[in-house]
Amino acid sequence: MNIPRDEFWKGKSVLVTGATGFLGGWLIRELIERDANVIALIRRKKPESQFILSGFDQQVSVETGEVWDRGLLENILNKYSVDVVFHTAMSGGDVAATLAEPIDCFRSTVESTWWLLDALRRKHPNCSLIVCSSDKAYGSQKVPYEESQPLVPKHPQEVAKASQDLMSQSFGKIYSLNVAVTRCANYYGPFDFNFSRVIPYVARCVAEGNAPELRSDGQFVRDFIHVQESAWAHLDLARQLAANSNLRGEVFNFSYGIRSTVMEIVNRVLAASDIPLAPVILNTSQHEIPNMWLSNEKAYQMLGWKPKMEFEQSLDSTVQWYLDHFREK
């Protein structure tokens, strides 16, 4: 889909943390297309990422280090006179990884956020910051999740995202900073190489001719959004935040609002691949929230946001991308 060039971004100095991550890579793609001056903060070179595979490392300014390094963050903000920050960095991309290394998750998610917020408060009050939280910040409670609900996290990953989320709201509202928070549904799309997530995992299984094994019973309910759709939403939120002080400290859900069980998604991926494989149900999953989906009403009302993509069509094209990708390897 061709999106008209957004002149707001032309020449803007934009920092993306977690640049080798899934959302980070897609934000950088969109920012490059809009002629922004992008600074990418990476922890280390990650060959299996859109950032490297698409050559973005040759098109943007690259800074390497830990996202929780206060001195590094302040140096980048000063060196590049940053106008906008998209804070996407987070260690522990899945439940099991965070359980194994909870402190790493807290440092990359929480400590990094408080240093960014305080740097803006002290020295960069005109810089805008979009903090990428998660639907996991809600914890297990009544669905659909609405932004007005209190956060009730339990799992370390949920607690880390909720802590980051609440700090950002506080600094936006108390210090009148251009800070806003996003809580998105499960991402899918090309260049997702986190195979703990159901869509890339099943697509890889299909490409390799293996039956997918499900760690749940297949009945968990999830909501989804294409990662490029999310990138557009983040860019639009940052643009509106720069012009509207009423958005400071606000939180917005973004999703397609379509409830699907894990088994329905698995079957959709298998059908799109047209390869006869049956999933194996392991039912070994622990500490995961059984039912998660989002209300988009606030984004509709305050931002005029509506999805541009169709869920099923974009899911089918994602499966095809994975099949092509693995056949080429």
% of residues, the chain, pLDDT over 70: 96
Q: Is residue 273 one of the residues assigned to a domain?
A: no
* CATH number of the domain residue 178 falls in: 3.40.50.720
% of residues, the chain, pLDDT over 90: 84
Query: For residue 167, what are the domain limits?
Result: 12-185+225-255+289-302
At 146, the pLDDT band (50, 70, 90 cuts) reads very high
Q: What is the pLDDT of residue 236?
A: 97
Q: Is residue 310 one of the residues assigned to a domain?
A: no
Q: Is residue 125 one of the residues assigned to a domain?
A: yes
Q: What is the pLDDT of residues 262-314, one digit of tens each?
A: 999 999 999 988 888 889 998 887 778 889 999 999 999 999 999 999 999 99
Q: Is residue 320 one of the residues assigned to a domain?
A: no
Q: What is the pLDDT of residue 216?
A: 85
User: In degrees rounded to 5, what are phi and psi of residue 61?
Assistant: -80, 130
Q: What is the pLDDT of residue 3?
A: 45
Under DSSP, the state recorded for 155 is S
Q: Is residue 283 one of the residues assigned to a domain?
A: no
Q: What is the pLDDT of residues 189-198, one digit of tens each?
A: 999 999 989 9
Q: What is the mean pLDDT of residues 141-170?
A: 96
Q: What is the pLDDT of residue 329?
A: 67
Question: Quick one: the chain helix, strand, coil %, rounded to 5?
Answer: 45, 15, 40
Quick one: CA torsion of 255, 21, 51, 203, rounded to 10 degrees?
A: -70
212: its two tokens: 């997918």
Q: What is the pLDDT of residues 197-210, one digit of tens each?
A: 999 999 999 888 89
pLDDT averaged over the chain? 93
- Is 124:82 a contact under the CB 8 Å cutoff? yes
Q: Is residue 172 one of the residues assigned to a domain?
A: yes
User: For the chain, what is the domain count?
Assistant: 1
- Report the Cα 210 to chain-centroid distance in Å: 28
pTM of the full structure: 0.94
Whether the pLDDT of residue 2 is over 50: the answer is no
Q: Is residue 97 one of the residues assigned to a domain?
A: yes
Q: What is the pLDDT of residue 299?
A: 98
Q: Is residue 175 one of the residues assigned to a domain?
A: yes
List of E strands, 8-75 = 13-17, 37-42, 61-64
Element (H or E) spanning 320, and its range?
A: helix 311-328
Q: What is the pLDDT of residues 41-83, one digit of tens each?
A: 999 999 999 999 999 999 999 999 999 999 999 999 999 999 9
